[in-house]
């Protein structure tokens, strides 16, 4: 029966022991609060601040990146617009230069045509003058032959026909 008495003492509440247990638990809580929970909560708060600061910096960097991207897109569009303008100006200049060269060529062709026509006209006038001179010489020669002989109209006709027949020989 010794054993049940010992076991019964363990299950009975002892008021002195309860006070000491509460006191030990309170000291343990104070030590934990002072040296464990305080620094842990402070480090958690500090970590939370760092995370919050990092998030704000990341959001600011993201906003800046978006702004830079918008600026880059605007700059790219402006560069494309300027490139299109330069190309348009170059095409217009090339077209104007081509038209100018074409007009110069046309003008030169017209001048050459005019010179050629003037040359042709001079040659024609020269040939006509040469023909007139030759016809005049032929007429003088014919008149000279007619005047040398005193003949009737039939004989004059024969002489003129003979003279005309001799014309190819006179030209050479």
Residue 165 has a pLDDT of 75
Residue 172 has a pLDDT of 45
In a domain, 59, yes or no: yes
Encode burial over 127-146: b for 16+ CB neighbours within 10 A, e otherwise. Answer: eeeeeeeeeeebeeebeeee
Query: Tens digits of per-residue pLDDT, 78-101?
Result: 999 999 999 999 999 999 999 999
In a domain, 112, yes or no: yes
Residues 125, 117: Cα–Cα separation, whole Å: 12
Residue 158 has a pLDDT of 78
Residue 159 has a pLDDT of 73
- Check: pTM over 0.85? Answer yes or no: no
Terminal CA-CA length for the chain: 180
In a domain, 100, yes or no: yes
In a domain, 148, yes or no: yes
In a domain, 137, yes or no: yes
Domain containing 148 equals: 35-166
Residues 23, 18: Cα–Cα separation, whole Å: 8
How many domains is the chain partitioned into structurally? Answer: 1
Residues of the chain with pLDDT under 50: 1, 169-172
């Amino acid at each position: 029966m010794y054993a049940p008495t010992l076991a019964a003492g363990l299950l009975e509440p002892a008021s002195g022991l309860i006070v000491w247990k509460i006191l030990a638990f309170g000291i343990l809580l104070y030590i934990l609060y002072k040296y464990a929970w305080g620094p842990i909560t402070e480090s958690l708060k500090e970590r939370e601040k760092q995370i919050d600061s990092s998030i704000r910096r990341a959001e600011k960097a993201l906003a800046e990146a978006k702004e830079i991207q918008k600026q880059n897109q605007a700059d790219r569009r402006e560069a494309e617009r300027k490139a299109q303008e330069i190309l348009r100006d170059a095409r217009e200049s090339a077209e104007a230069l081509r038209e100018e060269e074409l007009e110069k060529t046309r003008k030169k062709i017209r001048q050459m045509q005019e010179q050629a026509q003037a040359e042709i006209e001079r040659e024609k006038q020269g040939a006509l003058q040469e023909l007139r001179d030759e016809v005049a010489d032929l007429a003088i020669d014919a008149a000279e032959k007619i005047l040398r002989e005193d003949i009737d109209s039939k004989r004059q006709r024969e002489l003129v026909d003979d003279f005309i027949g001799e014309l190819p020989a006179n030209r050479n």
